Amino acid sequence: MNKLQIQGDWNIIKGNLKQRWAKLTDDDLQLIDGKYDEVLGRIQKRTGESREAVEDAIKSFRSAVSAQFKASN
């Protein structure tokens, strides 16, 4: 997964990540061009989760957002 794959839904995903891991701040979740790996690293550092767990959470939230979008159209 890369930044372009999640960019469109990022604001919704950010909210979901902050609900799951309350320690995260907006600064931790700033998705800056080419900095997807840095964002993952920040989440890992704050939460103590593995990279795989963080990526799985993002994928899960992204799938949920996509499903909601499809259901509303």
Per-residue tokens: 17: 């990540």
Between residues 34 and 67, which one has the greater pLDDT?
67
pLDDT tier at 47, thresholds 50, 70, 90: very high
Instruction: For residue 29, count other CB atoms closer than 10 A to its CB.
Output: 19
67: pLDDT confidence band, cut at 50, 70 and 90? confident
Number of domains forming the structure of the chain: 1
8 vs 27, higher pLDDT: 27
Write down the pLDDT at residue 45: 93
Give the domain extent around 27: 3-72
Residue 50 carries which side chain, given as an amino acid letter? S
The CATH number of the domain where 55 resides is what? 1.10.1470
Q: 17 with 58: CB under 8 angstroms?
A: yes
Confidence class for position 8, pLDDT limits 50, 70, 90: low
Question: pTM of the prediction?
Answer: 0.67
